[in-house]
Amino acid sequence: GAETYFKKSNFSNESSAILLGRTNDDRQGIHLSATFGDPDVFRLTAFVDYETVKYTSYHRVGNPLDPFLAPTTTAYNWTIVVRDNNDAFGLGFAWPFMERLTFDGSLVWSRTKGKGDLSSQVGGATLLDIPNYGNNERFALNLRGKYRLDNRWSFIGAPAYEYLQFNDIQYN
């Protein structure tokens, strides 16, 4: 079988009850997946995914946390607009090798690349296109073999490998 879908969502904070935090969130993405084969012989599944995200959030530093107060050097409002691109793909398989012995596994790669525009009330500074704002890359490989001794006992061997690279200017 195969599956395809396009997703678009848009959140907007129209309520005056929420003054700080995320004020809007616009997401668009496409996902494709397909499964081939006979589950009793060999089955392969693959997917690919792409999503863009843009959101704005409004914050207050210092005390008091009232965003309507005039800024000082220790208490002020700031805003950030974040733009992310997310990519992912994966493969998986299931193989009933023998009646009592099965193998399955998966390989998944994903990446997020982001940047942000930051503006502050103090000094009126705006920083545009801040790079590495939430960048990460992940690769995972999982394999599993399962031997069923009888109806009560099974033995599983499952090596796994994961690589994660995190590059975010907020934490570097």
Confidence of residue 136 (pLDDT cuts 50, 70, 90): very high
Closest CA to 26 of 38, 11, 4, 46: 11
Residue 15 has a pLDDT of 60
Residue 11 has a pLDDT of 73
Average pLDDT over residues 2-10: 73
Q: Which has more pLDDT, 40 or 126?
A: 40
> Which pTM was predicted?
0.78
Residue 101 has a pLDDT of 97
The rounded mean pLDDT for the chain is 89
Closest CA to 48 of 88, 98, 3: 88
Report the share of the chain in percent with pLDDT over 70. Answer: 93
- In b/e form, how buried is each residue of 105-124, taking b as 16+ CB within 10 angstroms? bbbbebebbbbbbeebbeee
For the chain, the straight-line distance linking the first and the last C-alpha, in angstroms and rounded, comes to 43
Is residue 147's pLDDT more than 70?
yes
Average pLDDT over residues 45-71: 90
Say which amino acid occupies 3.
Answer: E
Closest CA to 45 of 102, 110, 93: 93
Digit-coded pLDDT (tens) for 24-52: 888 899 999 999 999 899 999 999 999 99
